[in-house]
Amino acid sequence: MEIYGAEALSDQELLAILLRTGQHPHSVMSIAGNLLKTFGGLASLRQATLHELEEIRGIGRVKAIEIKALIELGRRIQTDQERAAPAIHTSYELAQQLILEMKDHKQEHLICIYLDTKNQVILKKTVFIGSLNQSVAHPREIFHYAVRYCAARIVLAHNHPSGNVIPSQQDMNFTKRIQKCGEMMGITVLDHLIIGRKRYFSLREEGLMEEK
């Protein structure tokens, strides 16, 4: 897990880590496997009562309480994330937020907003600082986070310190490049916003994004 992260572990392995120890003659892995088999997976395990958990060999009262507490903790984390994750409804709405954040930047900042299938924000990340015509503005940085956080869609945004929001040819070329990469990966690039001090330019609104 230290090398590949918790996401690389199976459900059974994760449960075994949480259970910590087995009970002779049952190993902790066999107890975890029996839990999943008995309840038909993690989703159904969530509905199990303390009494039902205690009926599993190797699960005593304390372990049953710990399992219920961990499941409840996971539920609350998910609820908090759903409450906290704002949904992006329009380019205008997003641009107004970004103007406040980016209007005083002295250098160009490229921000990527990663969205789920409901256009809820998963992550907002400054990918790099510099000019989009530099080789440092590479698609791999953008899509690294998209894959890592399982994003379905992306909105690109960068500021023009001059305040002029008209896209340059480099901006257009960069957008097309990112769109093509997104198409190959099944990730939609919804828009590219150029942010000025008081104004913004949306390539989507102006019909400059390639429609598929």
DSSP 8-state code for residue 105? -
Domains along the sequence of the chain with CATH: 6-84 (1.10.150.20), 91-202 (3.40.140.10)
Banded model confidence at residue 81, pLDDT cuts 50, 70, 90 = low
Residue 77 scores a pLDDT above 90: no
* pLDDT tens digits, 120-166: 999 999 998 877 655 456 898 899 999 999 999 999 999 999 999 99
Please choose, from the candidates 62, 60, 10, the residue with its C-alpha nearest in 3D space to the C-alpha of residue 36.
Answer: 10
Structure tokens of 154?
Answer: 């992306």
Q: Which residue has the higher pLDDT, 136 or 44?
A: 44
Pairing of strands 121-129, 109-115: antiparallel
Segment 52-69 mean pLDDT: 91
* pLDDT value of position 82: 59
Q: What is the pLDDT of residue 30?
A: 92
Residue 153 exposed, middle or buried by CB count within 10 Å (0-12, 13-18, 19+): buried
**What is the rounded average pLDDT for all residues in the chain?**
88
Distances (CA, A) of 108 to 128, 150, 202: 9, 27, 17
pLDDT of residue 42: 85
User: Of 153, 154, 137, 157, nearest to 200 (Cα)?
Assistant: 157
| Residue 31: partners with Cβ closer than 8 Å, 6 or more residues away | 16, 19, 22, 23, 56, 57, 58, 59
Q: What is the pLDDT of residue 75?
A: 81
